[in-house]
Amino acid sequence: MRFTSEQRLEDGVLERAFTLGEISGILWTPGSASAPAPLMLLGHPGGLHRMYPRLAARARHCAAQGFAAATIELPGSGDRPRSAAAEEARADLHRALEAGEPVGEGIVDRLVLPLVDQAAPEWRAALDALLTLPEIGGPVGYSGGIIAIGIRLAVVEPRISAALLFAGSFVPRATFEEARRVTIPLLVLLQWDDEGNDRQLALNVFDAFGSQEKTLHANTGGHTGVPEFEGDAANLFFARHLK
Amino acid sequence: MRFTSEQRLEDGVLERAFTLGEISGILWTPGSASAPAPLMLLGHPGGLHRMYPRLAARARHCAAQGFAAATIELPGSGDRPRSAAAEEARADLHRALEAGEPVGEGIVDRLVLPLVDQAAPEWRAALDALLTLPEIGGPVGYSGGIIAIGIRLAVVEPRISAALLFAGSFVPRATFEEARRVTIPLLVLLQWDDEGNDRQLALNVFDAFGSQEKTLHANTGGHTGVPEFEGDAANLFFARHLK
C-alpha cells in the first residue's frame, strides 16, 4: 500500500489516497484518535470518483464515531480496466431493462459473480494492508455497496465483525445460497419502493441469512431515498459491535 | 381523572396510579422536568398488573428521554368486567390454536373489533384528561400493544404525532383497510420468527400504511424476543417526532 496524497478535512479527519498495486483507494482516519481505531470498509457500486461525495460523507460520519474508514475501487470501474465479458453482461442488462423484460438469472450471474470473485480477495488484501497501520486497530465492519460482495466478505473474511448490507442490487442464486452461511450480526437496509429491486427476493435473502442477530430496516422511498436517520441507526448498530 | 396513589421511583420518576371512571391507569412523569413534557401512551395486551414490570421499564426509558408516559387498562382485562362475547371468541381462538387449525377471520373479528371499538374512545378520554395536567404538554406518541388499537388511534386521534406499532397480533380485515388511512410517521416492529404471527400479513399491513415515513424493523427471534437495542431505536424515532 502506497499513500499518494493526503488532506485534512474541515472536521480534522485525515483523508489519504492510496494505491494497492493497480487499485486505488481512500483511507479516512479520525482527527482525534488516541487509540488504534476500529475500521469500517465502505462498499459502493463502483466508481470512486463519482461516489466520492457520498463516500466522504459516510467516512466523516464514521470518524465522528471514532472509526477509521476505507474503500477501494471495484474491478472494471473508475480507472481500472474493463472486462469484455462484464461489459457485455452490462449491455444485456440494460437491453432487458429498457425492453421492460425480466432480468434473467444468466445476465445477473455473468454480471455479478465474476465481480464478486475478483473484488473479495482485493478487499481482503486491502484489509491486510490497512491493519498493519498503527492508527488502525480493528474490529472491522463492512457497510453498503453491492450486496453480493458484502455477503461474500461476510462469509470468507473472519476479521469482519458486523456488516450493514443494502438489499438494493441483483442477487445471483449462488449468492442467495451463500447468505445462509453468514453468521455475523447484520443490519440490512431495504428501500420498500425501490422499483428496480425485487422486494420479495430481498426479504428472502434476509430470511436466508444464518446470523443469530439480523435486523431488517425497511423504509418508504426509492433506491436512492435511504432516510438520513438510517445513519444514526447504523451508528447504533456498529457502536454495539465494533467497540 | 382521580389519582389514587403515588410513589417516587429510584431514578426520580414520579409514578401515579389513577382511575378514569371505572378504568384504572398509571402515569409516569420525569423527575427533572422543567417544561411540560411530551407524552407517550404505552399500549399493552391487557392486564396492567401482570404487565406492570415491563410497562414501568418502558416508562422509565421514556422518562430518561424527558417524556411522560401513561397507560390504562383494556376492556375485559385486569379488574374490568369480562364480556361474554369476547370470552367466547377467546375460547374459540384457543380451541383453534390447540387443534393446530388456522384461526378464522370470524374469530379474529369477534375478538379484536369490539375491543378496538371500546378501547379507542377510552384512550382518547384518557388523553383528554392527561393533557389538562400542567406537567404534560405534548406532542403525543403511541407505542406498542395490540396493533389494531394502535392503528385505530393513529387514524382517529389527531393529537398522536407518531406511533410505534408491534406487528405481532391478529389483524382483522377491517383493520387492514384502516391501515391505509394512517398517515403519521410509523416505526413498525416485527419479530421474524414469531410462530403465532403471520409474517406475510404483517408485511402486507406495513405495505398498506399510508404514511410517508414508515420504517419496518424486523428482528430474529420469537414473539417476546424483541431485542433490547430496539429501545434505543424507539428513542431515536420518538426524539425525531416528539420534540
In this prediction the ipTM stands at 0.88
Residues in chain B with CB shorter than 8 Å from the CB of A220 are: 211-215
CA B234 from chain center: how many Å? 13
CA-to-CA separations, B162 to A72, B39, B168, B176, in angstroms, rounded: 41, 11, 19, 19
CA-nearest of B189, B229, B183, B228 to B210 is B183
Q: Quick check: A236 and B227 CB within 8 A?
A: no
* A80-125 pLDDT tens trace: 999 999 999 999 999 998 998 888 899 999 999 999 999 999 999 9
Structure-block grid coordinates of residue B185 = 410517521
Q: Chain A: nearest CA to B191, how far in angstroms? A: 10
pLDDT value at residue B35: 86
In CATH terms, is domain A2-80+119-241 a member of 3.90.260.10?
no
Query: Over 80: is that where the pLDDT of B195 sits?
Result: yes
Q: Are B216 and B193 in contact (CB under 8 A)?
A: no
Chain B residue closest to A215 (CA)? B219
Q: Quick check: A240 and B233 CB within 8 A?
A: no
pLDDT value at residue A36: 93
Structure-block grid coordinates of residue A109 = 450471474
CATH architecture of the domain with range B2-80+123-241: 3-Layer(aba) Sandwich (3.40)
The SS3 call for residue B190 is strand
**Which backbone phi and psi does B192 adopt, to 5 degrees?**
-60, -30
pLDDT value at residue A33: 67
Q: Chain A: nearest CA to B59, how far in angstroms? A: 21
Q: Which of A217, A229, A232 sits opposite B217 (nearest CB)?
A: A217
- What is the arithmetic mean of pLDDT over A179-208? 95
Q: Quick check: B215 and A219 CB within 8 A?
A: yes
pLDDT value at residue B196: 80
CA-nearest of B222, B217, B219, B218 to B237 is B217
pLDDT value at residue A20: 97
Share of chain B above pLDDT 90, in %: 88
Q: How many residues does chain A have?
A: 243
Structure-block grid coordinates of residue B131 = 393533557
Query: Over 80: is that where the pLDDT of A34 sits?
Result: no
Residues in chain A with CB shorter than 8 Å from the CB of B237 are: 229
Structure-block grid coordinates of residue B184 = 403519521
Buried b (16+ CB within 10 A) or exposed e, B54-74: ebbebbbbbbebbbbbbbbbb
Query: Over 90: is that where the pLDDT of B27 sits?
Result: yes
Q: Quick check: B207 and A229 CB within 8 A?
A: no
Q: Which of A39-43, A69-73, B88-92 has the lowest mean pLDDT?
A: B88-92
Number of helices (H) and strands (E), helices first, in chain A? 7, 9
Chain B residue closest to A239 (CA)? B229
